[in-house]
Each structure stands twice: as C-alpha cells, then as structure tokens.
C-alpha cells in the first residue's frame, strides 16, 4: 500500500497530463482538475480535510476520488476513458473505466452535501452516468434518451444533486450498457450519515468493493462484450485472486464490508470464522429487528449488501464467493472430467495437437495449481496463490480477512501470515488405522419398489462440463 504522499504525487502528475491533453486551459479553469490513479493498489482512507468529518472507507485495490469545495458545493471530476487494469500480477486487461482505473474511484460524501460531478467523456462512443440507488431530480438520473442526451466523445456534462440519504450506492453508465459494463465502467459511492444514526453503528474498519466479471480469452487483453453467462474471470474490483488485497484488521475491531454486484449472476459471499449481520442494502440501512446472524449472504444482480461483525477471532480467514467456479481463473472450458481415468499417454498425444491443452488431473484438479503449465502470455494461472502451507487452490473472487492483535488502529498494512499457537493446527494422524465399522442393514426406502431391478446399478459421478447457467 502506498503512502498518502505518493498518492497525491502520482495524482498530481497524471492529472496535469490529462488536463493538457483533453480540454483547453480556459475551459479547465472552471473545471476541477481530474485526478488520475495509475496503480491498482489499495489506497489508505482519504481522510476529509474539508466539509463535514466522517470515517472514510477503504476500497479494495481502489481509491477515493478527491474533491474540491466550491462555495459549499463538493465538486468531483470523473473522466470516462480507456484504461489498462492489472487484474493480477502478470495479467493486464484493456478496459474502460474512470480516471485511470476500472472500477472508477469511490465517491464519498456526507448526507445533506450538495454534490456537483463533472463527467468528461474520452471514450470512442457516447456515455452517461446513472447514480444507482440515489434520490435525485429525475433529470440527473443518467438514463440516456430518457433523462438526458448521451455525453458525446470529447464532451463534459455536469450532474448536480443533494445526497439525500446515507448509504452505499454504485454508479455506472446507462448508455450502451452491455458494452460499457462488460468493459468495466462502474464505481462505488458512499454517503456517510451527517450525525449519529440509530441504524448505522460506528465501525473501526469500513471496506468496499464491486463484484464484476469479464470474458477475456487466455493470451488476449480485451473483454468480449457479447458474453452473458460464460465469463472466465470473476473479479472483485476488476482484480482476481491472488491479486486481491487482504482485508487487514485489528483484533476486536468492528468491521463493515460493503459489496455491490454488477455482474449478470448472483454471488453468495462467504466469510470464515465469524458470523455477520446484513446491516444495509442499496435501499439504505436495514431495520435492526430484521437482522440475523449469517456466514454467507447472497448478492443478486444489481444489489448491494453491507455486512458487519466484530473481528474477535485471530487468524487468516478466507472470504470468498461460494460458487466454486467463481474462485477459479481463466481455464480451458468444456473439458471432460478425467477423475478416475487412466490417461497415461493420452495427454501427450493431445498436447501435440493442441499445444496449450490442459488435461484435468486424474486425481482431481489440485495438481494443476502446482504444475508448471505453459500458459500463453497475459494469462492468469488457473489456481494460484501461495499460503504458509502451500498453494491456495483458488482464483477469482477470493481474499483473506487477517485479524491480528498487533495491527495498529487505523493501519491497513498487510501483516505476515498468522502464527498459529502450538497445537492449534490440523495435523496428520500417524497412529494405527482401525477397520471402519460398516452399517450392516439394507439401505432404506419409503416404499417397496414396484419392479425391483435384477442387478445393482452403480453410477459414476461426472462433473458437468460447460458453464451454461452461471
Ligand atoms: Cu460468485
């Protein structure tokens, strides 16, 4: 993670460059200077130095957009533009986003703030911005053709409204949406409460990220935009594990995590080692009486979920989408399952025909994470990430919640792996192995079969191939 100072240095240089290139100096004098981010690091919280104070959020592998105060109005400048996003070390994607990154920067304001957002379009086609979930004047809602004309390439539009209710929101285009969202145009918006709100607890850590998905062929850089279901990169803030930063907290911190789903399928988000409550949706904070403990919460398409818990168990806790295909990276789809099949000799014949072909292991797929498979350039390894005990067989929507006694308040740096107290790690049994006691009776059934079969039928389980329906 970079220091605040580095951030502004980077931002200043990049902002100057874009100003000179995009709009004339006279026009720029009235516009807030756009701030660019060139890295995919998780930036520290942007502590407000003007306006009402609040407890700033941390965007996973992202950042918060600085603003300027102009006669009591908070002014932001978003630039819609093609960007290069590092999705994981070794893999870059050519996406569309805002201010140098996809997703765009998080916008943080306070309930009651009057907000003015300048949106400059540097894309090759028109765009608009819809402020998902906000109460605002109809003409500011951003649906091209319905609420406003499209923002043509090279043009800047101004949106202005009062952030009327506290909560978590998203922003994304409502113009050629299929293309622009598939290319990564989206961002997070947090409206902090202006005073103590009985439904909004104070927390020590407040994280946010967007769930998104891409279809990028191994070896290529640009997402395919026609894909509806068969995505091969399941991302948090356009990053894939092991490229997603861990969520680092201090023992007994109250933690809030906000995530919004702008993919085309649902994601059951699962946290290990703790129970959480859903304390908010994109409709606002949930009534206290409606909350119950969970370890998994499903986020449907277009929804946001805000979870809260006390991080009172030390350790490195997995935090991931529970759809197993969403914790894998780009792979050869539609390959048959080879579990239990003796394919000695076959793999070599196939790889002579198709050089990059990967044969699913006959003992399952775990071997593949460890094998040094030759992959085309710019391809995310299928399952990677090295933990303290070996390879973590995950990809995609996976991260780690690190709970540490030693983590300083307000410090988000990544600590070393958890040091387990002696005797608290699962271990290999080396004693003798007794014969299993088998249950002797016939298997039960609710009624006798009308036509009992002559011989036993044994079925082989075969993993479904293909990715239809997710
Ligand atoms: Cu998922």
| Percent of all residues in the chain with a pLDDT value above 90, rounded to a whole number | 56
Task: Give distance in angstroms: CA of 267 to centre of ligand 1.
Answer: 4
Least confident of 34-48, 96-110, 265-279: 34-48
CA 268–ligand 1 middle distance (angstroms): 6
Residue 93 in contact with residue 223, Cβ under 8 Å?
Answer: yes
Mean pLDDT (whole number) for 372-387: 66
Query: Between the CA atoms of 165, 102, 205 and 234, what dihedral angle is there, to the nearest 10 degrees?
Result: 110
CA of 322 to the centre of ligand 1 (A): 6
If you measure from the C-alpha of residue 325 to the centroid of ligand 1, how many angstroms do you get, rounded to a whole number?
7
- Selected residue with higher pLDDT from 234 and 381: 234
Beta bridge partners, 141, equal: none
Give distance in angstroms: CA of 439 to centre of ligand 1: 38
**Helix/strand/coil (H/E/C) assignment for every residue in the chain:** CCCHHHHHHHHHHHHHHHHHHHCCHHHHHHCCCCCCCCCCCCCCCCCCCCCCCCCCCEECCCCECCCEEECCEEEEEEEEEEEEEEEECCEEEEEEEECCECCCCEEEEECCCEEEEEEEECCCCCECCEEECCCCCHHHCCCECCCECCECCCCEEEEEEECCCCEEEEEECCCCHHHHHHCCCCEEEEEECCCCECCECCCCEEEEEEEEEECCCCCCCCCCCCCCCCCCEEEECCECECCCCCEEEECCCEEEEEEEECCCCCEEEEECCCCEEEEEECCEECCHHHCCCECEEEECCCCEEEEEEECCCCEEEEEEECCHHHHCCCCCCCCCCCCCCCCCCHHHHHHHHCCCCCCCCECECHHHHHCCCCCCCCCCCCCEEEECCEEEEECECEEEEEEECCCCCCCCCCCCCCCCCCCCCCCCCCCCCCCCCCCCCCCCCCCCCCCCCCCCCCCCCCCCCCCCCC
pLDDT of 464 reads 57
Model pTM? Answer: 0.82
Residue 326 Cα to ligand 1 midpoint, Å, equals 5
Mean pLDDT of 254-281: 96
| Separation of CA 128 and ligand 1 centre (Å) | 28
pLDDT in tens, 434-460: 877 776 666 677 787 787 777 777 777
Region for residue 252 given its phi and psi (left: phi exceeds 0; alpha: psi -120 to 50; beta: otherwise): left
Smallest CA-to-CA distance from 314 within 405, 226, 243 is with: 405
Residue located via tokens 């290069």:
84
Q: How far is the CA of 330 from the centre of ligand 1 (A)?
A: 14
User: How many A from CA of 224 to the centre of ligand 1?
Assistant: 19
Question: What is the 343 CA–ligand 1 centroid distance (Å)?
Answer: 32
Ligand 1 geometric centre to CA of 194 (Å): 34
Q: Which residues pair with 278 in a beta bridge?
A: 307
- Reported as a single tens digit per residue, the pLDDT across 123-161 is 999 999 999 999 999 999 999 999 999 999 999 999 999
Q: What is the mean pLDDT of the chain?
A: 83
**Residues near ligand 1 ion, CB 5 Å cutoff:** 267, 321, 323, 326
- Distance, CA of 132 to CA of 114 (rounded, Å): 17
- pLDDT over 70 at 25, yes or no: no
CA–centroid distance, residue 401 to ligand 1 (Å):
18
Please give the backbone phi and psi of residue 104, each rounded to the nearest 5 degrees, phi first.
-70, 175
Share of the chain above pLDDT 70, in %: 79
| Span from the CA of 287 to the centroid of ligand 1 (angstroms) | 27
Instruction: Count Cα atoms within 13 angstroms, Cβ side, for 307.
Output: 24
- For residue 98 the two structure tokens come to 């805002």
* β-strand partners of 131: 171
State in Å: Cα 232 to ligand 1 middle: 11
Residue 139, pLDDT score: 97
pLDDT confidence of residue 15: 36
Q: Hey, what's the torsion of the CAs at 105, 417, 93, 261, to 10 degrees?
A: -50
How much distance in Å is there from the Cα of 66 to the middle of ligand 1?
31
Between the CA of 307 and the centroid of ligand 1 the distance, in Å, is 17
For residue 63, give both structure tokens: 């950042």
What distance in Å separates the CA atoms of residue 93 and residue 86, rounded to the nearest whole number? Answer: 6
Distance 206 CA to ligand 1 centre (A): 22
pLDDT greater than 50 at residue 333: no
Omega of the bond leading into 103 within 30 degrees of 0 (cis):
yes
How many angstroms separate the alpha carbon of residue 321 from the centre of ligand 1?
Answer: 5
- The rounded Å distance from CA 355 to ligand 1 centre is 30
Please give the pLDDT value at position 349: 58
Give 164 Cα–ligand 1 centroid separation in angstroms: 32
Phi/psi class of residue 407: alpha, beta or left (left: φ > 0; alpha: ψ in -120 to 50)? Answer: beta
Q: What pairs with residue 401 in β-bridges?
A: 247, 317
Q: Which residue has the tokens 């911190």?
A: 253
Cα-to-centroid distance, 167 and ligand 1 (Å): 23
- Predicted confidence band of residue 355 (pLDDT cuts 50, 70, 90): low
Across residues 118-123, what is the average pLDDT?
Answer: 97
Q: What is the mean pLDDT of residues 14-32?
A: 48
pLDDT band at 255 (very low <50, low <70, confident <90, very high): very high
What is the whole-number distance in angstroms between the Cα of residue 251 and the centre of ligand 1? 28
- Alpha carbons 120 and 103: distance in angstroms, whole number: 16
448: exposed, middle or buried (C-beta count within 10 Å: 0-12, 13-18, 19+)? exposed
Give the Å distance between the CA of 432 and the centre of ligand 1. Answer: 41
């Amino acid at each position: 993670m970079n220091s605040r100072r580095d951030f502004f240095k980077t931002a200043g240089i990049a902002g100057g460059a874009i100003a000179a290139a995009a709009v004339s100096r006279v026009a720029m004098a009235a516009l807030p200077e756009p701030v660019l981010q060139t890295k995919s690091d998780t930036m520290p919280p942007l502590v407000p130095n003007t306006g009402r104070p609040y407890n700033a959020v941390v965007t996973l592998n992202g950042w918060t957009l600085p603003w300027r105060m102009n006669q009591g109005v908070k002014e932001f400048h978003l630039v819609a533009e093609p960007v290069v996003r590092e999705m994981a070390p070794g893999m870059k994607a050519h996406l569309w986003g805002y201010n140098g990154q996809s997703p765009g920067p998080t916008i943080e304001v306070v309930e009651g703030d009057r907000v003015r957002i300048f949106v400059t379009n540097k894309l090759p086609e028109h765009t608009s911005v819809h402020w998902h979930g906000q109460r605002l004047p109809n003409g500011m809602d951003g649906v091209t053709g319905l609420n406003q004309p499209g923002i043509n390439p090279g043009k800047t539009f101004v949106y202005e409204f009062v952030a009327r209710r506290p909560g978590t929101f998203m922003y994304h285009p409502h113009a050629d949406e299929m293309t622009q969202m598939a290319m990564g145009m989206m961002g997070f918006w947090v409206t902090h409460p202006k005073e103590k709100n009985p439904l909004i607890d104070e927390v020590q850590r407040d994280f946010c990220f967007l769930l998104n998905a891409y279809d990028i062929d191994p070896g290529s850089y640009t997402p395919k935009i026609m894909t509806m279901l068969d995505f091969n990169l399941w991302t948090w803030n356009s990053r894939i594990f092991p490229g997603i930063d861990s969520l680092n907290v201090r023992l007994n911190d109250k933690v809030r995590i906000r995530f919004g789903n702008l993919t085309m399928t649902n994601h059951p988000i699962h946290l290990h080692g703790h129970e959480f409550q859903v304390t908010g949706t994109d409709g606002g904070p949930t009534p206290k009486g409606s909350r119950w403990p969970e370890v998994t919460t499903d986020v449907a398409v277009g929804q946001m979920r805000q979870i809260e818990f006390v991080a009172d168990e030390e350790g490195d806790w997995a935090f991931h989408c529970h759809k197993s295909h969403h914790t894998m990276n780009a792979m050869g789809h539609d390959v048959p399952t080879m579990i239990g099949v003796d394919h000695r000799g076959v793999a070599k014949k196939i790889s002579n025909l198709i050089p990059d072909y990967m044969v699913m292991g006959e003992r399952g797929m775990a071997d593949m994470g460890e094998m040094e498979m030759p992959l085309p350039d710019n391809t995310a390894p299928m399952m990677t990430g090295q933990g303290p005990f070996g390879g973590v067989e995950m990809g995609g929507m996976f991260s780690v919640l690190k709970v540490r006694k030693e983590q300083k308040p307000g410090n988000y740096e990544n600590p070393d792996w958890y040091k387990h107290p002696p005797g608290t790690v699962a271990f290999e049994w080396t004693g003798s192995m007794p014969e299993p006691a088998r249950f002797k009776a016939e298997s039960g059934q609710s009624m006798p079969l009308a036509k009992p079969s002559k011989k036993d039928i044994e079925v082989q389980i075969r993993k479904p191939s293909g990715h239809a329906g997710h």
